[in-house]
Structure 1
């Protein structure tokens, strides 16, 4: 299968190294909206509205799960002392409270949805870190490294249960509809994680399979975040479905950028190990696209990865060995193709907004958040 060329936009040339900016190329609309919408303020609003309710939900957990969860969210350090840790980008809460405004409701209406989505997202992170063997997240050790695998599993399960509680205790028809969408998104997320794990043990994965996996693992929950506030505000299913379509494509753009950062991102910005996705043998978009491209670099990469899968000393590979694999991925076109795919999915997300009636101010904010997703560095 050859790489398709459907994603428009300029491509970078030359060989970039770890730590250099990921070549996603800002959409043309980004500069135009930069002065009109302050994305940092949007993200901070979502975090500010959501955090007190999120903390109250975590306080319901039995000890020591409440402490373990507080560590994961960055509220305390490993010794239990208050911490101002990195709590993540808060894209999902920002989208959830913004979606409430599509219906004319106040952003606070979307807060229970934002909290529920954050709880499910962090349930997945706790389990993913353990399954993937990731030792660092957000610039410090992961929960399973500090508190053990059992606590990572238990706290993850508890967060998933809390997510449903937070919505259902509202006791409204809108809350029931929102919960159905959340549980469907969670099932898709789990399907995506299962696909991701299974792909690590296969020599080849198609680009279509990779996009399906990432649509489940990342796109489904981000899609839910984009509709949940609107549903709580009384939006009909048609409106919610179009907002989810926006979120699905935004999720694919988000994951494409994550895949670039997972190989070429600066550890100081990402908080993860160098070449983290290569260390885990992930069949991420750059890898899959490079293997599908054909040519000498693609063939050499395929031979190396096949040998890696059988290697008993893979864990002891040097930085140079991982760098060589990254260079082959780039030479075969995997890096450029993934950057173009991020732009393509960004464009599809914005197109989905055209079918939704909403205040122009809200539309501009959705557009600005989409721009942010494809130009971020962490």
Structure 2
């Protein structure tokens, strides 16, 4: 069964897509080609396609702008939404190269088509465009928003660095893993849920409440992704089943199991420590060990706890806006767990 997308995602995509396309059109032809392929706008042969992401972060930006009273001009919020989406896709292009992922959004990753250097340069280009788009906004608060997005990008990079470091360490604590999840995922979602309000000149307490809401929601988002990385349907995730175990990722449920002190956790540690690639049978056994250690259940419970915390911190703005933010939060955690 396909999960129904909240209508606000379609609205956000229709609003932000033209701004993204205009920004990418400024790039040199070679870099533009890689970016247009990555966004799903064109195929390998350059033919037009209608793909793209779900626009979750842009939707959060647009909704957060509506929490300000008055919300401010729509074009200012759209510029902020486009900037956040550009940073997000910068991170995806780089992560795919560093993680060696060969599939994203049900198609070959950009680096496998155009090469690693071209994909990295395309990511760099998107990051530079994000600042350009944001500072080109008519908002008098554009500089403050740009500082917020830039600081968030530094945190995001630190999260990816920690994730890569974990690959070479036999011991990673659950606290370290949760901190990495915050930096790599939650920080950008927190920025998305607050930068629209910041751009619109909302009061500081409103911006702070939205940022905290986004932080907790971002943690729930990553926990769901970690579970999908183990048991997710490839038709939903766009990646092979058991992909995180195949790469021996130290995701939250895996690290929880490794530190559980259970027989299942010890067996998982043995599997992760073997020098040879895990066989398909061993991959299935590793997934079962995560289950037996109680780590899948713990991760689901932690996800629900984070979602409840997000709801408590959500500022009560206009009713329709609050309901839309709550609906998006629910959508995040019901993605084919």
**Partner of residue 7, structure 1:** none
Confirm whether residue 96 of structure 1 aligns to residue 61 of structure 2. yes
* Counterpart-to-counterpart distance in 1, 2:242 and 2:189: 25
Structure 1 residues 39 and 272, CA, compared in 2 at 3 Å: closer, same or farther?
closer
Confirm whether residue 80 of structure 1 aligns to residue 22 of structure 2. no
Structure with higher RCO (Cα < 8 A, 6+ apart): 1
Superposed CA RMSD? 1.7
**Partner of residue 323, structure 1:** 284
* Counterpart-to-counterpart distance in 2, 1:342 and 1:111: 30
Q: Which runs of structure 2 are paired with 1:6-155 in the superposition (5 Å)?
A: 40-85=6-51, 87-103=52-68, 104-105=70-71, 107-155=74-122
Q: Which runs of structure 2 are paired with 1:188-203 in the superposition (5 Å)?
A: 188-203=155-170
For 1:334, which of 295, 301, 308 is the aligned residue?
295
Q: Assess if the C-alpha contact under 8 Å between 2:264 and 2:293 holds in 1.
A: yes
* Counterpart-to-counterpart distance in 1, 2:60 and 2:82: 11
Q: Assess if the C-alpha contact under 8 Å between 2:271 and 2:282 holds in 1.
A: no
1:107 deviates by 4.7
Q: Which runs of structure 2 are paired with 1:114-263 in the superposition (5 Å)?
A: 114-170=81-137, 172-263=139-230
Gaps of 5+ in 2: none
Tell me which stretches of 4 or more aligned residues in structure 1 moved more than 2 Å. 106-109, 170-173
Confirm whether residue 283 of structure 1 aligns to residue 250 of structure 2. yes
**Mean alpha-carbon deviation: is it higher for 178-187 or for 360-369?**
360-369
1:359 deviates by 1.0
Q: Assess if the C-alpha contact under 8 Å between 1:101 and 1:107 holds in 2.
A: no
Q: Assess if the C-alpha contact under 8 Å between 1:49 and 1:108 holds in 2.
A: no
* Counterpart-to-counterpart distance in 1, 2:181 and 2:285: 25
**TM-score after normalising by structure 2:** 0.95
- Please state whether the residue corresponding to 2:125 is helix, strand or coil: helix
For 2:263, which of 288, 296, 308 is the aligned residue?
296
Q: Assess if the C-alpha contact under 8 Å between 1:97 and 1:109 holds in 2.
A: no
* Counterpart-to-counterpart distance in 1, 2:177 and 2:95: 17
Structure 1 residues 138 and 40, CA, compared in 2 at 3 Å: closer, same or farther?
same
**Mean alpha-carbon deviation: is it higher for 362-371 or for 151-160?**
362-371
* Counterpart-to-counterpart distance in 2, 1:142 and 1:237: 40
1:40 deviates by 2.1
Question: How many residue pairs align between the two structures?
Answer: 334
* Counterpart-to-counterpart distance in 2, 1:134 and 1:49: 30
* Counterpart-to-counterpart distance in 2, 1:107 and 1:98: 11
1:200 deviates by 1.2
- Please state whether the residue corresponding to 2:101 is helix, strand or coil: coil
Q: Assess if the C-alpha contact under 8 Å between 1:65 and 1:154 holds in 2.
A: yes
* Counterpart-to-counterpart distance in 1, 2:50 and 2:325: 28
* Counterpart-to-counterpart distance in 2, 1:286 and 1:98: 31
- Please state whether the residue corresponding to 2:284 is helix, strand or coil: helix
**TM-score after normalising by structure 1:** 0.85
